[in-house]
Every structure is written in C-alpha cells, then in structure tokens.
Amino acid sequence: MFKLVLICLSPLLVNSYVHRSASYPICLSETNNACQEEMKKKNETLARISYYYPPLTDSLKNYTEQCRDVMECASGLECFKGKPQWEIFRTSCDDVGTRSYYFDTCIYQILKKIYSNDHNCTAGFSFENLFTADTIFKKEKQCVLNIGQRVCKTDDFNFLQNNYDELIELYTNNPTSGIDRWDHPSGKFYMMHCDVLRSDFVQKSVGIMVSSVNQENVNVKKLLEIAQITQKCTHKSPFVYGNSNYYNIWIKYAQTIVAVMTNVFKHRPTLSQYQCLTSLKSYDFFREVVQCMDAGNVKKCVWFFINLYCQEEIMADSKNQTVTWAPHKESNVPDVSFSMFKNNQRHKFVFTVSNN
C-alpha cells in the first residue's frame, strides 16, 4: 500500500504569476541590521507604489535603484558568502515589477478576448510564440483599446489609454540580464498568456466526464493539445517560474493520465458505464490524481481513485459475481488494495495493476 497525501489546494486559483520560490528569503535579519540605511530608503520608495496600478518606467527605475543599493550592501555580508546572486536579490528586493496589481485584470481580460478570437484585430499573434505579443499590442493599439473598453473597468481602461505606450513597452520589453529579468513586468505579462491557456485547460476539463476520457475522444484530444501549448508557453516565459506549480504538474502529466485511463477502460469496458465515473468531472479526477502523485505513480493513483469513487458500485458488482477484474497476481507488479465493511462483513479488494 502506498501512502496517500492529500493536500488542500485552493480551488481554481488559476492566476499563477507572481510566483516566487515558496521558501523564505535567507539572511533577512542580517541584511536588515547591516543595511539599515539602504533598506529604509527602499522601503520608503516601496510604500509609494500602490497595489492598484503597476509602477511605470520612472517609479520602477527609482525603486530598482534603491533595491540595487540594498543588494550591493548585502553582497558584502558573511551570511551570503558562496550564495548565488539570486538569493541576495530575493532578500533585498520585492516583487514590484512582477507582482499582480488590480489593474492587471484588465490586461488579462483583453488577453482572454484575443485568445478566444473574439476581436477584430489583424496583427499576427500566437500564444505559442509569446514574443509576438508586441505585434498585436503595439501595432493594433486602437483595436486593443476597443477590446479594453468592453472588458475593463472604467478607471482601468483610462489608465490603459493614458499610459498605453509606456505600459506596453514595459510589459513586452524582454530584458536579457539576470537581475533585470528577475523582477521585470514582462515576466508577469507573458505568464498571463500562459494563465489564459491554463484557464482554458481547466474549463475544458470540467466539461469532460471521467468515463469518456480516452485518446480517441475529440474533446480529450483538444484538451491535450491545449496542455501541450501551455507547457510550451511556460517554458518560453522569461520569468523564473516555480516549476512545482500545481497546474504545471497537472498539465505536464495530462498526456500520461489520459494514456493510463484509455488503457484502463480498454481492458475493463464495464467500468466506463459505472455511474461513479459517468458523473465525475475529469477536472475533479485529474486534481485528485495529481495530488496523489507525490506518493505513487500515475497508474497507481488512477486506480486508487477509481476504487475510492466507485466503492459502492464495485461492492454491488462483486456481490453479483460480475467483477470483471478479479485479482490476478503477477509477479513484481504492485497491488492496490483496500478493505471495506458492509453488513459487518469484511470485504477485501485487491486490484492488480498490470503493465500493459
């Protein structure tokens, strides 16, 4: 038996930009002590930046200068000896460039319209090739503004209209050097593209029931296509992006999970008629499987949750002696087993996960 680790995740939290490494920055108190003057100046500049609108060129530049001063001071500290520059940056600087501001919802909504082709802008643009974003945002300014007028709050639209060129320059400029990349607004901008794709993936997977998950299903094929584009999108993002992000794992393994399930239904066709699976959204199922994968492989996890969701029907079936997957032991193949009590009688079920 493998241990099952269930992690509570906030449901449907798709927006994943602003994704710093989860661990706490190192040497923080040392830096606060030794670089008080620099920290204080940086904090004051930071306090002037609102949570609503992203800082534009000047105030971002001001802030960056302050945080560079902190870095310069901190890099001399004993505590950082032998540590990468990235760690010093993480301790000294805040995510002012890449943080998600309330206003960014406006950009996100525009991207969603562009993605769903619900627009009349003509410039070539592809979510697969992130860096074509400036073709549509720069060359079709009026058209993008037209979309913005429809989907953004009035204040946000005004901010967009009044600062369009500067904002888009900041959001599409692709910095090359390390420190500039770590907190650059373009990281957030491109990540939003991937989030649009991810949100489409989630939406489509809600519409597909577990019992119809197989490689031949047209909707499943489409889903896997989106998964693939999303993965490409994430890899191309210039942002240092948490690879352990939940949705990334999900999307990465979508292909494998679908392959395993196709095989399961191929060998046990009755299973696909079980109500427990015909009424279960593949979104919910995938989510469980992905959470389980900390503890086992895809095959084990798929089986574990089929068993878990379908206990009743498996019981009923076994009573009728119609169990189609009576245990057959194969050497070196792990079993997935569980016990249940019904009418005070103990039933033990053992499922063999075969290698085909």
Residues near ligand NAG (CB under 6 A) are 32, 36, 39-40, 43, 58-59, 62, 120, 143, 146, 316-317, 320, 322
- Counts of helices then strands in the chain (DSSP H, E): 16, 2
For residue 216, how many other CB atoms are within 10 A of its CB? 8
CB-nearer residue toward ligand NAG: 137 or 286: 137
Q: How far is the CB of 11 from ligand NAG (least distance, A)?
A: 30
Nearer residue to ligand NAG within complex by CB, 117 or 120:
120
Continuous segment of H or E residues that includes residue 338: strand 335-342
Rounded to whole angstroms, the Cα distance separating 83 from 230 reads 33
What is the smallest separation between the CB atom of 239 and ligand NAG, expressed in angstroms?
A: 22
Under DSSP, the state recorded for 221 is H
Q: How far is the CB of 275 from ligand NAG (least distance, A)?
A: 10
Whichever of 40 and 267 has its CB closer to ligand NAG, that residue is 40
CB of 187 to ligand NAG, least distance (A): 21
Count CB-CB contacts under 10 A for residue 22. Answer: 7
| CB nearer ligand NAG, residue 37 or residue 330 | 37
> What residue has token string 């989106």?
226
Alpha-carbon span 264 to 354, nearest angstrom: 10
Closer to ligand NAG by CB, 63 or 247: give it. 63
Q: Quick one: 94 or 284, whose CB is closer to ligand NAG? A: 94
Q: How far apart are CB 82 and ligand NAG at their closest, in Å?
A: 24
DSSP 43-99: HHHHHTS-SSS---HHHHHHHHHHHHHHHHHHTTSGGGTT--HHHHHHHH---TTTS
Q: Rounded to the nearest whole angstrom, what is the least distance from the CB of residue 331 to ligand NAG in the complex? A: 31
